[in-house]
Structure 1
Amino acid sequence: MSTWNNERVLVTGGASFIGSHLVEDLVAEGADVRVADDFSSGEVENLDAVADDIEVVDGNLKHYEFAEEATKDIDTVFHLAADHGGRGYISNYPANCATNMALDNIVYEAAAKNGVERITFASSACTYPTDIQQEKQRLSEEMVSFEERGGAYADEVYGWAKLMGERSLQAYQEQYDIDTSIVRIFTAYGPRENETHAIVALMAKAYAEQDPYQIWGDGEQTRNFTYVKDITRALRLASENITDGTPVNAGIRDYITVNDVAEAIFERLDWEPDEINHMTDKPVGVRHRAADTTRAEELLGWEPEYTLQDGIDNTLDWYVENRDKEYVQDNLETLLHER
């Protein structure tokens, strides 16, 4: 029998890109799912496939009364709600990202008060020090430490907020004996993601036939682009297998350049720009990022199942089917910069 059969589960931010995929997985596993979302970036359409099988509550989890209502009669919380976006967003809206510290603690406090048994927190690769990501070295969980002096050096305010979300959750585990787990998500992509994130931004520009085609930076910066269904499986496995707030990475071990992704997209769309404009004045984040997945393999039996090509094919098929080309062409700049 599934671990999730008849389990009462809350997914905060469940109408978001990653959240909606997780909700679908949990429904398929027999869970009784409630989604709490303020729809600031999530979309109700993301939940269309399971709309009849879930409960949706609309509100702001920074308001304690709403958080209390959302966590009532719940066994397990997957906490994904956050103010976030792609690199441009987190660079331009640091104060917005800082509010995640309040959000996380309000959700944890309400969950503890309501007797929730376990909480899984969606953290981020932005918790890792930026200075060690200029050369190619895979990031392992022990590279962040709360015990050592100088053991943490996160990536912008967003990364610090995620790191504080981790530390707060561990504190709730210590004080309230709640089972807790933390998944550090690395560069997720897939259907339903918006254009502020790298892969979908690259798809939008190619779909709109932007020429010269714009790539932020020299395009040789690498990321370990990880398909959303691999991420949601890691979240479920962490909730099932970890109780003490030990963080695990969910990402691939490969270093994939932005230029490689753009080429794969051009090939799939059977279109190529006459010129590529590498915009070296744009924010690009760290130089290289890939995950050491040893701990996830050992504790969860998890490793990625989707290749980059599988993921790009699935995502691009979804994008072309769901976006009107003329609309993307007319609104490209807005799509690339707004949440």
Structure 2
Amino acid sequence: MSEWVGERVLVTGGASFIGSHLTEDLVAAGADVRVVDDLSSGITENLAAVRDEIGLIEGNLKRWEVADRATENVDTVFHLAADHGGRGYISNYPANCATNMALDNIVFEAAAKNGVDRITFASSACTYPTDIQQERRRLREDMVSFDERGGAYADEVYGWAKLMGERSLKAYHEQYGIDASSVRIFTAYGPRENETHAIVALMAKAYARQDPFQIWGDGEQTRNFTYVKDITRALRLAAENIADATPVNAGISDYITINEVAESIFERLGWRPDSIDHLTDKPVGVRHRAADTSRAEDLLGWEPEYTLQEGIDNTLDWYVNNRDRTYVEENLETLLHER
């Protein structure tokens, strides 16, 4: 029997890309699921498959009364709600991302007040020091430290906010005894993701037949693109297996270039542009990023199950089936920059 049967679970940001997949997984495992979302980037259509089986609160978790109501009579909180987007968004809207620090602490405080047993926090690879990501060096959780001077050097305001979220959650564990875990998500992608993120942005450009095709940077920057169902499995396993706020990576250990992803998308669509423009003046973030997954394997028994090609095929099939090409063509610039 699944340990989630009958468990009262709150998913914050549950109408979002990752949150909606997690909600579906928890419903399938027998949990009694409630979602809270302000629908600033999430959409209720993402929850269509389980809408009749969950509770849904629409509201902003930076308001105490919303967080208090959402966390009442809940055993487990998966905290995914955040103001975020792809590289263009977090570079252009740092103040928006900074509000995540307030949001996280209000959710944690409300959960503590209402006697929640455990909290799993959706953290980010942006918590890692940027200076060690200019070369190919797999990121280990202990490369971030709260105990050493200079032990933290996060990626933009968004990364600092996620890092403070981890530290705040550990403080709530220490003071209130709440079981806690943080999952550092590495470049998630999959169906329902929006066009501000790298893989879906490339899909949108290819679907719109953009030519010359634009790639930010020289395209040789790497990421460890991790399929959404691998991410949601890691979140559930972290809740099940970690209680002391130990952070754990959820990512793949492969270095995949943006150019390689673009070529895979062209091949899947059966189309390729006549020329490619590499826009070296655009924000691209760190040069290389991939995860050391040793801790996830040891503590969770987790490793990725989806190959990049399987993930791209699933995601592109979803995109083509759910997006009108003319709409994408006419609104491409807005789609790429607004969450």
TM-score (norm 1): 1.00
1:107-126 to structure 2, matched below 5 A, reads 107-126=107-126
Deviation at 1:260, TM superposition (A): 0.1
Deviation at 1:211, TM superposition (A): 0.1
Deviation at 1:337, TM superposition (A): 0.4
1:117-156 to structure 2, matched below 5 A, reads 117-156=117-156
Q: Deviations over 1:231-266 (max 9, x none)?
A: 000000000000000000000000000000000000
Q: In structure 2, what is the Cα distance between the partners aligned to 1:282 and 1:177?
A: 45
SS at match of 1:163: helix
RMSD: 0.2
Deviation at 1:55, TM superposition (A): 0.4
Deviation at 1:91, TM superposition (A): 0.3
Q: Deviations over 1:83-103 (max 9, x none)?
A: 000000000000000000000
1:146-225 to structure 2, matched below 5 A, reads 146-225=146-225
Q: In structure 1, what is the Cα distance between the partners aligned to 2:306 and 2:66?
A: 37
Q: In structure 2, what is the Cα distance between the partners aligned to 1:7 and 1:243?
A: 17
Q: Which residue does the alignment assign to 1:51?
A: 51
User: Any unmatched runs of 5+ in structure 2?
Assistant: none
Deviation at 1:305, TM superposition (A): 0.1
1:74 equivalenced with 2:53 (yes/no) = no
Q: Which residue does the alignment assign to 2:328?
A: 328
Deviation at 1:319, TM superposition (A): 0.1
SS at match of 1:120: strand
Query: How many residues are matched?
Result: 339
User: Any unmatched runs of 5+ in structure 1?
Assistant: none
Deviation at 1:152, TM superposition (A): 0.2
SS at match of 2:183: strand
Q: Deviations over 1:29-78 (max 9, x none)?
A: 00000000000000000000000100000000000011000000000000
Q: In structure 2, what is the Cα distance between the partners aligned to 1:42 and 1:221?
A: 28
Q: Which residue does the alignment assign to 1:283?
A: 283
Equivalent pairs: percent with the same residue?
Answer: 83
Q: In structure 1, what is the Cα distance between the partners aligned to 2:100 and 2:51?
A: 27
SS at match of 1:168: helix
SS at match of 1:238: helix
Q: Which residue does the alignment assign to 2:252?
A: 252
Deviation at 1:7, TM superposition (A): 0.2
SS at match of 1:49: coil
Deviation at 1:277, TM superposition (A): 0.2
Q: In structure 2, what is the Cα distance between the partners aligned to 1:93 and 1:336?
A: 14
Q: Which residue does the alignment assign to 1:65?
A: 65
Q: Deviations over 1:142-181 (max 9, x none)?
A: 0000000000000000000000000000000000000000
Q: In structure 1, what is the Cα distance between the partners aligned to 2:333 and 2:142?
A: 39
Deviation at 1:137, TM superposition (A): 0.3
Deviation at 1:290, TM superposition (A): 0.1
